[in-house]
Amino acid sequence: MVKYIVKRLIYMIPVLLGVAFLISIILYLTPGDPASVILSSQATDAMRDAWRQERGLNDPFLLQYIHFIGGIVLHWDWGTSYVNGLSVTGDVMLRFPNTFLLACLTTVIAIIIGILLGVFTAKHQNTWLDTTFSVVGMIGISMPQFWLGMLLIIWFGLNLQWFPIAGFDGPKYWVLPSVALGVQNAAILMRFTRTSVLECMRQDYVRTARAKGQVERVITWHHIVRNALIPIITTVGALFGGALGMAMILEQVFSINGLGRLMVEAIAMRNYPIIRASVMLLAASYSFIYLALDLLYAAVDPRIKTDFENQSAGPRRARVSRKGAAHA
């Protein structure tokens, strides 16, 4: 097991190097000169050129890339913000917790509502309850999150005045953004849970459990749901990754000081080091979540654990199909 984890961690290195390469090349190809955005209009061409020279922007692409990677590897230096001249790690780490918290809250809401409703609708398959929740779920999937966020602001923020509509300073502030982001994920998860539970309900061991007189509650949660969890966990991983990304838009709606707002500002200012560091951080957290989920599979399903121990290799996520990716 440890061997497997180490292997997966090592595999993460080329992926993150690749992400760094991809984002560097996109930024390299981005038109617009940071020097003319950031320096005042009085700056002469020579001053701009010196400014660019100082930050290595005149170097060829590969050299810039090697400098960037080298800085991280040798000095843990992620670059210096063009705007305030400070290391970007300060700015990024100040904002990241908000984004991460929002994504976590969203996922928790999605897991609680989505899995409960999914199991419930599966148990009541083809009744009016099932139909009603299917329709509600379809509507939930189809509402753009930032629009739902604005609706929540209108209803619960402005009309009822139950919750504050801007900021992210305490549990009261967390409600609206995480619900706005969580509804869609909950609906997606509900549909997956329903399908997965329905598949498991037809298995022989469920009939056996019933035949031996097992209590229905234990059959549902122990026999059915536990076996139905595997595809659900995959979906949760994809949803969390999606939530990290979509949080950027919700931060704009609710004026949350998160990574998303930082990035939007940075893109406007052509503040490349901030963009690079933010993307790298999000990609890294995404990869770690996937690793954590793969380990969770092993905890849920002992069969997979033996698989891990036997082969302990192979490309990641190869075995478990990513059904959730379709909706992420």
Partner 1 sequence: MPDQTIAVRQPDETVIVKQRSMFRQILARLVRNRSAMIGFCLLMIIVVLCLLAPVIAPQGFNAQNISAKFQPPSLKYPCGTDNLGRDIFVRILYGGRISLLIGVVSTLFSAAIGIVIGLFAGYRGGSTDNVAMRIIDIVMSIPAILLAITIAAALGTGVNSAIIAIGIASIPIFARLTRAPIIQVKNEEYIEAARAISASQFRIMFRHLLPNILSPLIVQITINVALSIMLAAGLSFLGMGVQPPNPEWGAIITSAKVYIIDHSYMVTMPGIAMALTVISLNLFGDGLRDCLDPRLKI
Sign of the Cα torsion 111, 115, 118, 120 reads: negative
Asked whether position 119 contacts partner 1 by CB under 8 A, the answer is: no
Which of the stretches 54-62, 63-71, 225-233, 262-270 binds partner 1 when contact is defined by CB under 8 A? 262-270
Report the alpha-carbon distance of residue 164 to residue 158 in Å, rounded: 9
Site string for partner 1, 191-220 (x = CB under 8 A): ---xx--xx---------------------
308 three-class SS: helix
- Exactly one of 63, 66, 138, 292 binds partner 1 (CB under 8 A); that residue is 138
Q: Which contiguous run of DSSP H or E holds residue 118?
A: helix 88-123
Asked whether position 139 contacts partner 1 by CB under 8 A, the answer is: yes
Least separation in angstroms between CB 198 and partner 1: 5
Least separation in angstroms between CB 29 and partner 1: 5
* Residues in binding contact with partner 1, number by CB under 8 A: 56
Nearer to partner 1 by Cβ, of 135 and 299: the residue is: 135
Half-sphere exposure of 261 (CA within 13 A, CB side): 17
For the segment 87-116, give every residue that binds partner 1 (CB under 8 A).
none
Nearer to partner 1 by Cβ, of 202 and 212: the residue is: 202
Which of the stretches 26-34, 175-183, 209-217, 300-308 binds partner 1 when contact is defined by CB under 8 A? 26-34
Q: At a CB cut-off of 8 Å and minimum separation 6, what does 75 contact?
A: none
As given in the structure block, the two tokens for residue 292 are 């954590």
The residue with tokens 């990574």 is 259
**Would you give the distance in Å from CA 197 to the centre of its chain?**
25
- Exactly one of 112, 154, 215, 313 binds partner 1 (CB under 8 A); that residue is 154
Asked whether position 150 contacts partner 1 by CB under 8 A, the answer is: yes
Asked whether position 287 contacts partner 1 by CB under 8 A, the answer is: yes
87 three-class SS: strand
Which of the stretches 43-51, 74-82, 88-96, 282-290 binds partner 1 when contact is defined by CB under 8 A? 282-290
Report the alpha-carbon distance of residue 223 to residue 194 in Å, rounded: 15
Asked whether position 313 contacts partner 1 by CB under 8 A, the answer is: no
Instruction: State phi, psi for 76 to the nearest 5 degrees.
Output: 55, 40
Least separation in angstroms between CB 212 and partner 1: 26
Instruction: State phi, psi for 327 to the nearest 5 degrees.
Output: -110, 0
For the segment 221-260, give every residue that binds partner 1 (CB under 8 A).
241-242, 244-246, 248-249, 252-253
Measured CA to CA in angstroms, residue 102 lies from 99, 238, 254 at distances of 5, 16, 11
Asked whether position 158 contacts partner 1 by CB under 8 A, the answer is: yes
As given in the structure block, the two tokens for residue 62 are 């590969």
Asked whether position 153 contacts partner 1 by CB under 8 A, the answer is: yes
Q: At a CB cut-off of 8 Å and minimum separation 6, what does 193 contact?
A: 114, 115, 117, 118, 119, 122, 228, 232
**Would you give the distance in Å from CA 202 to the centre of its chain?**
33
Nearer to partner 1 by Cβ, of 107 and 287: the residue is: 287
Report the alpha-carbon distance of residue 37 to residue 30 in Å, rounded: 13
Measured CA to CA in angstroms, residue 87 lies from 17, 51, 97, 122 at distances of 20, 17, 18, 52
For the segment 29-58, give every residue that binds partner 1 (CB under 8 A).
29-31
- Exactly one of 5, 7, 15, 43 binds partner 1 (CB under 8 A); that residue is 15
Residues binding partner 1 (CB under 8 A)? 14-16, 18-19, 22-23, 26-27, 29-31, 138-139, 141-147, 150-151, 153-154, 158, 194-195, 198-199, 241-242, 244-246, 248-249, 252-253, 263-264, 267, 275, 279, 282-283, 286-287, 315-316, 321-322, 325-328
